[in-house]
Structure 1
């Protein structure tokens, strides 16, 4: 008996659904905190055969390119995760009218911030104030503005950089879970970014001091979020959600911090900013490439 095209389509969709179920089960139904703590410990083992096997396994399952790394050998898997780049590996767009991508990433949900909500994925939105740890005033500051969701996969370069000449006004750590942030989880876990561990970085960019906010969001196996512009003694997780005032100034492209595995950065800009017109959801970005255009008028 001949199989009709509709039946083949339903069969294919069922297989995709089964694969998504398995992926979700493997990445989100395990003890996430325990797995994350284990990865934080295991990835730092500097025994040569452990290092070589773990890096080989990582490269087997992830699209990893170490050719632009500053170092050619790494003492541990962790060192490879948080690798620095060789000079010139990421040219930074110099035009002062452009806000650049702070990291290598895949562009996810993006657009206009309306009624205090952002999209996590098509058809599923969340409250901006919840992402910001209940900060309604900061949410209102970005109402009518532009947002972009940048997903860092496990094999990508994990450091993030200043998207413009800027001043860091404050940093706030928000404790949370470690859900996977892959597209399958984004479709199934409501307000996922609002549940995960994250930080809120309030910035003033450009000569006019436009208020821009970066929200780095941790995920499963992310054993830590580090901000290089803070004193080494500052442990974000020990701040218990307190807002840390800051006066650090950084030049466009300067390193800000790093994840210790793949994750997400949500970029929030006020009204007047516009997304770079050539970008589309699913586009791959490199740190330093155009992300948004600054407004022409004053902040």
Structure 2
């Protein structure tokens, strides 16, 4: 009996493995930078037929919901990617003891930062200092704190917002590759987030003065990152990794910036923060929903 049952199971597993191999091959073994530059050019074409076919193809392969977009029509695929929301489309958890999700996302690896390491997927960890561009001081500031990995799929709303009332203290751009950040790649590429292009945003919360960091990570077809709170004309890629001091004050839910396709945000906190206990890996979050409790927040059952 075990042989009869085992053979079909092995075939299913082999089929799944073959599909993963094909996915990894198609999204990571092609010239990633070239493909990303091409998509950046192609998605901005405002010719109606190109736009309509592009958006239709995107919706065919991705779970796209444009019903909550601010605008009813889009001049290009790029405009649809970076669409703004209509007012009130994302209610913001106003409780000052709650750190909200900065974006629509699927919750990935999360937990406690221990011995300077965190997980990109179960069984595969990486050094926090590597993610932060060898910033050992900042890594130590987050030791013992919490982290949450938020993955934005291609069809999701791509802008991200302030998770609390805060001041942006600095921004640092770090050059890197454009590996796909889907679960298949996360299982196969060690330290993937530390390899890709990214930015480190150092934030100071208005409540308690806690220092929190957001690390938006680029991916294939999405090496573009725009930060609306920086002075107009700031070109992150021309800063050569310098830390840019900042004094922007944002209210919880204010827009911070956007990806130009889909990607990942790693949320890093100091000790004392706790992930909302109802959240599990794979949970879908909408921007503004509770993500973590600040230190000293009442127990969830007492709310």
Unaligned runs of 5+ in 2: 298-303
Given the alignment of the two structures, is residue 123 of structure 1 paired with residue 126 of structure 2, yes or no? Answer: no
Given the alignment of the two structures, is residue 85 of structure 1 paired with residue 85 of structure 2, yes or no? Answer: yes
Q: Which residue of 2 aligns with 1:135?
A: 135
Q: In the TM superposition, what are the counterparts of 1:233-248 in structure 2 within 5 Å?
A: 233-248=233-248
Q: Which residue of 2 aligns with 1:30?
A: 30
C-alpha contact (below 8 Å) 2:197/2:223 kept by paired residues: no
d(CA) in 2 for partners of 1:86 and 1:247?
28
Q: Hey, which bits of structure 1, 4+ residues long, moved more than 4 A?
A: none
Q: Which residue of 2 aligns with 1:56?
A: 56
Q: Which moved more, 1:279-288 or 1:203-212?
A: 203-212
1:206 deviates by: 2.6
Aligned pair count?
297
1:207 deviates by: 2.6
C-alpha contact (below 8 Å) 1:162/1:254 kept by paired residues: yes
d(CA) in 2 for partners of 1:296 and 1:247?
27
Q: Which residue of 2 aligns with 1:221?
A: 221
d(CA) in 2 for partners of 1:28 and 1:209?
41
1:223 deviates by: 4.1
Q: In the TM superposition, what are the counterparts of 1:284-295 in structure 2 within 5 Å?
A: 284-295=284-295
d(CA) in 2 for partners of 1:11 and 1:292?
42
Q: TM-score, normalised by structure 2?
A: 0.97
C-alpha contact (below 8 Å) 1:174/1:199 kept by paired residues: yes
C-alpha contact (below 8 Å) 1:124/1:190 kept by paired residues: yes
Q: In the TM superposition, what are the counterparts of 1:245-284 in structure 2 within 5 Å?
A: 245-284=245-284
d(CA) in 2 for partners of 1:281 and 1:7?
31
C-alpha contact (below 8 Å) 2:178/2:223 kept by paired residues: no
Aligned-residue Cα RMSD (Å) equals 1.2
1:288 deviates by: 0.2
1:3 deviates by: 7.0
Deviations 1:197-238 (A, max 9, x none): 000000001332100000000000004100000012100000
Q: Which residue of 1 aligns with 2:207?
A: 207
C-alpha contact (below 8 Å) 1:106/1:151 kept by paired residues: yes
Deviations 1:10-65 (A, max 9, x none): 11000000000000000000000000000000000000000000000000000000
C-alpha contact (below 8 Å) 1:168/1:204 kept by paired residues: yes
1:180 deviates by: 0.1
d(CA) in 2 for partners of 1:206 and 1:293?
14
Deviations 1:237-293 (A, max 9, x none): 000100000000000000000000110000000000000110000000000000000
Unaligned runs of 5+ in 1: none
